[in-house]
Structure 1
Amino acid sequence: MTRILVPTDFSEGAHRALKLARELMPNAEIKLLHVFNPNVRSLPYQSSLGEQANHDAIQKHFQDEVLSQFEEAQRERMELEVVVGQPVDAIIEAAQSFGADFIFMGTHARKGLNLFFLGSVAQGVMQRTHVPVMVVPHRD
């Protein structure tokens, strides 16, 4: 069975990457990977209550919001892993341990100088992995 790793920050870009992975390979086993970088507080449900509270909030969001968008048969082949660390390192490690055949990643809508830094995680992953990477653009 094909295995796809989808790193997610639960943004629209990440959602588009997951949706495309499901459309192109509906029978694939998908692991969503959320990397909690303790140096960056970017998600609305991250709290100062600690790592376990954040992990629980992410798991609840995954169950309530992400899985609910897919049919039962597809949900059975999806799982979420939450890790703490630097995104590029964690994605590379997860792809290896999961035995990923593909990595589908979303991008964020940025303009101007921010565009230069747009793909820093995606670019880092592409430079360091031998797994094919599909970068799915954000659409306004």
Structure 2
Amino acid sequence: MFKKILVPVDGSALSHAAGELAADLARQHGAQIIGVYVIDPFPYIGIGEASAVGLQAYLAEAKAAADQALSDLKAVCEARGVPFAGDTIERNVTYEGILETAQAEGCDLIVMGSHGRKGMQALILGSVAQKVLTHAKVPVLVVKPRT
């Protein structure tokens, strides 16, 4: 039924749980997992050398976090014998990056956590999962925390 499953990751425990569920589904359906980590662009535009140093530090930390989250998902997929491809993209609006990736990769399902590491910001601005649910053109499976 499913051939390509998109799993947006952010390094959170719930993102990991969504990856495990997606990998289990992919194994059952003979599908591939596409992982994506969306980096927010550098939030400060300053003048002078300090801005360049800040940008480099920010991008280095963001890329390290992306690499760790995607490596975690890759390990989950490898443990289940599921094909995996992952990428890090940079977008101003996270949910748009997720939806663009789903369309570009021809994904037929998105599996994601109900919330990630955004904390209070998610409550104020609305969650990424909510926006993906609202705008996705393919089914979305939202993984909730276990209580």
Q: So what's the TM-score if we normalise by structure 1?
A: 0.74
1:59 is the counterpart of 2:67: yes
Instruction: Look up the equivalent residue of 2:140 and give its one-letter code.
Output: V
1:60 is displaced (CA, Å) by: 4.9
Residue 134 of structure 1 and its aligned partner are, at CA, apart by: 0.2
Query: Over the residues paired in the alignment, what is the CA RMSD in angstroms?
Result: 3.1
Residue deviations 1:21-42 (CA, integer Å, cap 9, x gap): 11122131111110111367xx
Shift of 1:128: 1.0
Percent same amino acid among aligned pairs?
30
Q: 1:139 to 1:117 in 2, by over 3 A?
A: farther
User: Can you list the C-alpha shifts for 1:6-64, whole angstroms capped at 9, x where unaligned?
Assistant: 01101111111111111122131111110111367xxxxxx95242563255325533x
> Contact 1:17–1:106 (CA<8 Å) still a contact in 2?
yes
Pairs aligned (count): 129
What SS does structure 2 have at the residue aligned with 1:81? strand
Instruction: Give yes or no for contact 2:36–2:87 (8 Å, CA) kept in 1.
Output: yes
Distance 1:79 1:117, change over 3 A: farther
In terms of Rg, which structure is larger? 2
Q: What runs of 5+ residues in structure 2 fail to find an aligned partner?
A: 44-54
Query: Which of the pair is proportionally richer in helix?
Result: 2
| TM-score, normalised with respect to structure 2 | 0.71
The residue correspondences of 1:20-31 to structure 2 (distance < 5 A) are 20-26=21-27, 27-31=30-34
